[in-house]
Structures are given as C-alpha cells and as structure tokens.
Amino acid sequence: MSIVPLFRSFAPSPVSGMMFSEASNTFSSIWSSFVAGCVRIGWRLAAALLVLLIGTLLIRCLLRLLRNGKLTQRMDPMFHSFLLSFVKVSCYAILCIILIGILGVETASIITVLATGGAALALALQGSLSNLAGGLMLLVFRPFQVGDFIEVMDQSGTVKDVGIFYTVLVTPDNREVTVPNGSLISSVIVNFSREKNRRLDLCFRVPLDADTEKVKELIGQVIAGQDCVQETPAPFIRMTAVGDSSLEITVRVWCANGDYWNLKFDLTEGIAHALEEGGIQVPHAQMDVHIKGDGASR
C-alpha cells in the first residue's frame, strides 16, 4: 500500500487556505482599526487635557485681572461681584463646549437633545433660573450694596458677596448665611445702612409716683453728655404710657448710622445709673394678694 495518498489526505485544501487567509486579513483589519481608534482617541484626550489646562489657566488669569484691575476697582462693589460670577460661569461653560467638540461629540446633537428636553430642563432648573433672574433684578434695582447691613427672611447681617444665584451675608456673630436671590428679591428687605442717620428709640419704666420732670431732667443730662447725639432733630423725652404699676418714658435721639450701637449701649447704661443715683427705682412686676375673711373663724 502506498503512503502517498495518505499524506495527500492530510494536506490543506485550497478552500481551507483561502478561509484562513480571509480570517487573518479580517483580524488584521480589525486590529489596525482598533489601534488607529485608540491612537485617535488618545490624541483627542491629550488635546482635550491640554485645552483644559490652558483654558483653566486663562480663565483664572482673566478673573484675577477683573478682581484686581484698576478699571474694575472703580466699579460698584455689587456690580463687580456679579460681573465676576457671570464671567466665571460663562467662561467655564464655553470651555466645556470646546472640550466636547474636541472629544468628537457633535455639538449639534447636544443642542438637539437640550431642545428636545427643554421643558423638563426648564422645570428642573426652575429654582436656578429664578435665582438668576433675582440676581439680575438685584443688579438693576440695587436695594442694597456690598457692605450694607440688611435684614431679610428673618436673617440679618452684612452683605459680603452678591453672586449670580446667591447672596452671602455675615451675621454679627460671624456666621455666613447664603440666601437664594430668587427668594431674596421677593421678600421684604430692610436696609439699615442706606440712610446716613438713624433714630434710636429707648423705653424706661419708672414708678407711678415718680416725679416725671425729674426723670426727664436726669435723662436729658445723660443725653447731653453724648457727643454723637445730633441736635437736629431735637431729642425726644416724654411719658408715653401709664401701666398698672409703672410709667413708661420714651427716649428718641438721632445719630450717625455708624454710632447707633455704641450710643444705644451707652445711653441704656448711663440712664439706668442716673435714675438709680437719683433715687428712682425701676419697678418690678409684682402681685399683691388681699385675703378677705373673718379672722376669728380661722
């Protein structure tokens, strides 16, 4: 028996060789495409990272120029703060759009998606849009400025910063309160720093049998010793109420806005000492109970 036919049976056929060649070519094509795609994505990621670093550096330089520039230093502090916030948000938004384009994402498709989901996006961002509108209204109407002491929504403090979406207050005990602009613009705002002068109102109680003229004289002497009390309008010292066990004396004086709190404490302490030295005691709430009955029956 010849072994030649047996070896021929194990020899590769032309069909199997063609299939192997096609598979090899397909694998090579896929591998080449994969490598080319990785290289392309790598270049895009490298370019995006480079643009991100350069863009962040440029934005920080721009914000530093706006914050410390001579031209911007002359601006109103409230407008300056709002401008910084607006430029910062706008620049970073533009940078994000540029990065998306570099990464190969079609910006037209993003705009289409945003337009399609515009209603849902508007509902989701309703609070933020309201705060943005409130910030613009604060910038236009200016009910307060940076550095003013205001009271709003049961919160009081000095305005530290007015941003696009939020306003920051610093309370007298050094707490930082962040108030949304939308809520702030729709609330009652009390500005204690807008006017140059303020009126200080104080009330004191004296006994019913006290000599009111003497009380007025003692209070007037204390007021005369305070240099920050303004002569015009003249100080007001009158009895304004008669209670069950005391008379109420109201004192009203005018002073510069910056002297308000010191004058309040000085007058309160000084008038209390003057009344005590003048023999006029501050009445305390008390109740007298009278028992009626036959003493012999007890």
- Picking from 67, 104, 117, 114, the residue whose alpha carbon sits closest to that of residue 88 is 67
Output the pLDDT for position 291: 80
Alpha-carbon distance 31 to 37, whole Å? Answer: 10
Whether pLDDT at 298 is above 50: no
Whether pLDDT at 190 is above 90: yes
Whether pLDDT at 173 is above 70: yes
Whether pLDDT at 181 is above 70: yes
| 140 contacts 82 by C-beta, under 8 angstroms | no
Considering Cα of 99, then 104, then 110, then 112, what sign does the dihedral take? positive
- What 8-state DSSP symbol labels residue 85? H
Cα→Cα distances 141→79, 122, 182, 236, Å: 11, 26, 14, 35
Specify whether the backbone of 156 is left (phi greater than 0), alpha (psi in -120 to 50) or beta. Answer: beta
Rg (CA), the chain: 40
Whether pLDDT at 23 is above 80: no
Question: Cα 191 from chain centroid?
Answer: 16
Output the pLDDT for position 7: 45
Regarding predicted confidence, which is higher, 255 or 14? 255
Regarding predicted confidence, which is higher, 35 or 188? 188
The secondary structure element, H or E, covering residue 160 is strand 155-162
- Picking from 149, 250, 142, 157, the residue whose alpha carbon sits closest to that of residue 199 is 250
Output the pLDDT for position 297: 47
- Picking from 70, 69, 50, 71, the residue whose alpha carbon sits closest to that of residue 61 is 69
Single-letter code of the amino acid located at 146: V
Q: Please report, for the chain, the start and end positions of each structural domain, with discontinuous segments joined by +.
A: 27-117, 127-191, 197-277
CATH fold of the domain at 197-277: Alpha-Beta Plaits (3.30.70)
Alpha-carbon distance 84 to 236, whole Å? Answer: 47
Output the pLDDT for position 140: 81
Q: Looking at residues 240-269, what average pLDDT do you find? A: 93
* Residue whose token pair is 């943005």: 132
CATH class of residue range 127-191: mainly beta
Tell me phi and psi for residue 151, to 5 degrees. Answer: -130, 125
How many Cα atoms are found within 13 Å in the side-chain-facing hemisphere of 231?
A: 1
Q: What is the percent of the chain with per-residue pLDDT over 90, rounded to a whole number?
A: 36
Whether pLDDT at 78 is above 50: yes
Cis peptide before 233 (omega within 30 of 0): yes
Output the pLDDT for position 18: 59
The secondary structure element, H or E, covering residue 237 is strand 236-242
* pLDDT tier at 117, thresholds 50, 70, 90: low
- Look up the pTM and report it: 0.59
CATH class of residue range 27-117: mainly alpha
Whether pLDDT at 58 is above 70: yes
**Residues 139-159: tens digit of each pLDDT:** 888 889 889 999 998 899 999
Whether pLDDT at 120 is above 80: no
Output the pLDDT for position 83: 77
Whether pLDDT at 110 is above 90: no
Lowest-confidence range among 21-25, 29-33, 167-171, 210-214? Answer: 21-25
| 235 contacts 223 by C-beta, under 8 angstroms | yes
Regarding predicted confidence, which is higher, 238 or 75? 238
Average pLDDT of the chain?
A: 81
Whether pLDDT at 248 is above 90: yes
Q: What is the percent of the chain with per-residue pLDDT over 70, rounded to a whole number?
A: 77
Alpha-carbon distance 132 to 122, whole Å? Answer: 13
